Structure 1
Amino acid sequence: MMSTTHALADSATMLRRNLRHARRYPAMTISVIFGPVLMLLLFFGVFGNTLGAGISAGTGFKGDYIDYLTPGIVLMAVTSGCMVVSVAVAVDMTEGVIARFRTMAVFRTAVLNGHVAGGVLQTAASTALVLAIAVALGFRSHDATLLDWLGAIGLLLFLIVALSWLACGLGLWSKGPESASNTPLIVQFLPFLGSAVVPPEQMPASIRWFAEYQPFTPIIETLRGLLLGTPVGNDAWTSLAWCAGLTALGYLWSRRLFARDPKHAS
């Protein structure tokens, strides 16, 4: 019981530390928000009429293109948050912060818990802001009930936790903040190789298979089903399985990397 209390207290302290850093140096958070907003304005404002007409003709989607696009852009906001955790962990590794914590009576993985919890809060806030901008541009969810919205929020939070732990592992694995900021780019742009912008069935055959079976397509389709009333099928269960698998992978990988080098133990 005492060890659990100690772990929670130390993790809360590390969370406060990371939130203070985010408040004092907001450039990273702002850059994470800027990318999804820019993509939203680009695809809706520049290509929206053409892409929307093609999707309506090819799939029978009845809503406006902003309605189809928003779940994919929201997911991009979630994936963009990976960079915050990855860079923050890499900075602590390279600047000797972990070594200083090692000399103190700090719970072993409290540093990682603090980074992940801080990343979850920052990413959730930035994702909500991107969604608010989409609403201002015309996104509407007329058929969604309160339970549908709660389901969508719960799925997004589950994914944020999963990707935050994965980003933590990427930060521990990277050689420095520069590589830690570049590695998550692969994850950030995966939604565009899914159904974020256009349906997979309208893609070239060489890309269609990957788009249909990569992890973010079922998550996007589940969000559309919850918020827009489109068919979900097995996508909801597939989404939960991907989130659970990514969470387990990120957590176990981070713990292993953190314990492997004595400099990372506290």
Structure 2
Amino acid sequence: MKLLQALADGSVVAKRNLIKIKRVPDLLVFSTAAPIMFVLLFAYVFGGSIEIPGMDYQEFLMAGIFAQTVLFGATITGSGLAEDITKGIIDRFRSLPMARSAVLVGRTTSDLVNNALVVVIMMITGLIVGWRIHSSPLEALAAVGILLLFAYAFSWAMAWIGLLVRSPEVFNNASFIFIFPITYIANTFVQAEKLPSVLRHIAEWNPVSAVTLAARELFGNTSPLQPAPDVWPLQHPVLASLGWVVVFLLIFVPLANYQYKRAVAR
């Protein structure tokens, strides 16, 4: 009964957040502007100097852009919660007969919908610059599903940080410091094999690398000329990605709920 109430209340909160996007479309515009800029920058400025054996760089690039995009989209969860606390919105929620977890469930769900819209826009942008899907429709949907699942799990980590710092400005600075290294020390924009030895080992076990490679394989954007990976996460990227999703949820769902209880009790 409590679970059903939390889901029902969470859907109301999610609707509130989605209506905010509708009324302030700048949120969606600017969340897609940066990824589009990255696509154009890497495809046309750096793409000519980066060689990927057996395939065009645009096709190699897009899976990395998708992974980076959904991670940045997940940060909306943390900044939104920090802003709601600062503006006293959370205090208003406390006065309503609703489940405590509804705020977090609604926030992460609405941001998942936002991420889905952004991914669709990015796929259209990729098709314009020359990216193509070489797999079946089901495999392509599976690639999008893995990206969104990972984004949803990652948004719970961002929720915990957003509730921890309680300031949108501090959260934005903290999240960028964390997200930039994990998206660049990975196989997102270059092959992990071309990185220096220490960075290569970090990239091989980076969850972003597993998600990116899973998307590449499911979209059919790989080549037999590329060297075979020698670490388990990149040998089985789909399983590794799903495993990371479970790990993130098991760790950060309880942490976020615990931090939410502490934040509203202050």
* TM-score normalised to structure 1 length: 0.89
Question: Are 2:41 and 1:49 aligned?
Answer: no
Question: Are 2:202 and 1:213 aligned?
Answer: no
The match for 1:253 is 255
The match for 1:59 is none
In structure 1, list runs of 5 or more residues that go unmatched: 57-61
Give yes or no for contact 2:144–2:215 (8 Å, CA) kept in 1. Answer: no
1:129 alignment partner, one of 121, 126, 130:
121
Distance in 1 between residues matched to 2:199 and 2:84, nearest whole Å:
39
In structure 2, list runs of 5 or more residues that go unmatched: 223-227, 229-233
The two structures, once aligned, show a CA RMSD in angstroms of 1.8
Question: Are 2:174 and 1:183 aligned?
Answer: yes
Q: Deviations over 1:18-39 (max 9, x none)?
A: 1111222233332221222111
Equivalent runs, 1:84-123 vs 2, <5 Å: 84-123=76-115
Equivalent runs, 1:139-218 vs 2, <5 Å: 139-142=131-134, 144-185=135-176, 186-218=178-210
In structure 2, relative to structure 1, the CA distance for the partners of 1:4 and 1:252 (3 Å cut) is closer
What is the DSSP-based 3-state SS (H/G/I as helix, E as strand, rest coil) of the residue aligned with 2:97? Answer: coil
Give yes or no for contact 1:82–1:184 (8 Å, CA) kept in 2. Answer: no
Aligned partner letter, 1:119 = D
Give yes or no for contact 1:66–1:139 (8 Å, CA) kept in 2. Answer: yes
In structure 2, relative to structure 1, the CA distance for the partners of 1:25 and 1:181 (3 Å cut) is farther
The match for 1:70 is 62
Q: Which 4+ residue blocks in structure 1 deviate beyond 4 angstroms?
A: none
**1:198 CA drift (Å):** 0.8
Distance in 1 between residues matched to 2:221 and 2:35, nearest whole Å:
24
Aligned partner letter, 2:82 = A
Distance in 2 between residues matched to 1:132 and 1:250, nearest whole Å:
32
Aligned partner letter, 1:176 = S
In structure 2, relative to structure 1, the CA distance for the partners of 1:6 and 1:239 (3 Å cut) is closer
Aligned partner letter, 2:61 = L
Distance in 2 between residues matched to 1:261 and 1:196, nearest whole Å:
35
